[in-house]
């Protein structure tokens, strides 16, 4: 019984992690399609569950593209607060 419970817990955690990754990937996909408002919306939902500096940085660039400079500054600041050593190369949007 204990083994079954452990297995189910691990399976649930793995599924949750894969959904979180899918949300980030969906945001990147929307950014690549130049659907910046939708990208921000998708990544905002993602960051409510998973504070991810990559997502905040991408939201900053999407806001910049929409000429919402105050929102862009806010998202870039959140990126820095989460990871002072963040490098844009970790975004993986060009791949």
Taken in order of first residue, the domains within the chain and their CATH numbers are 2-91 (1.25.40.10)
State the pLDDT at residue 3.
73
3-49 confidence digits (pLDDT tens): 745 544 544 444 444 445 568 999 999 999 999 999 999 999 999 99
Cα distances (angstroms) measured from residue 61 to each of 10, 69, 83: 35, 9, 17
Residue from 67, 48, 60, 45 nearest 91 by CA: 60
State the pLDDT at residue 37.
98
* Mean of the per-residue pLDDT values of the chain: 83
- Tell me what the mean pLDDT of segment 52-66 comes to: 96
State the pLDDT at residue 22.
64
Q: Which two tokens stand for residue 28?
A: 């990147």
In the DSSP assignment, the letter for residue 50 is S
The residue count for the chain: 95
Q: Is pLDDT larger for residue 93 or for residue 74?
A: 74
State the pLDDT at residue 5.
52
State the pLDDT at residue 35.
97
């Amino acid at each position: 019984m204990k083994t079954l419970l452990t297995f189910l817990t691990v399976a649930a955690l793995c599924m949750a992690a894969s959904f979180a990754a899918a949300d980030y990937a969906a945001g990147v996909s929307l950014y690549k399609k130049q659907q910046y408002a939708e990208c921000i919306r998708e990544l905002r939902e993602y960051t409510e569950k998973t504070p991810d500096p990559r997502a905040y940085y991408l939201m900053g660039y999407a806001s910049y593209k929409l000429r919402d400079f105050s929102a862009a500054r806010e998202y870039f600041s959140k990126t820095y607060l989460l990871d002072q050593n963040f490098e844009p190369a970790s975004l993986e949007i060009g791949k």
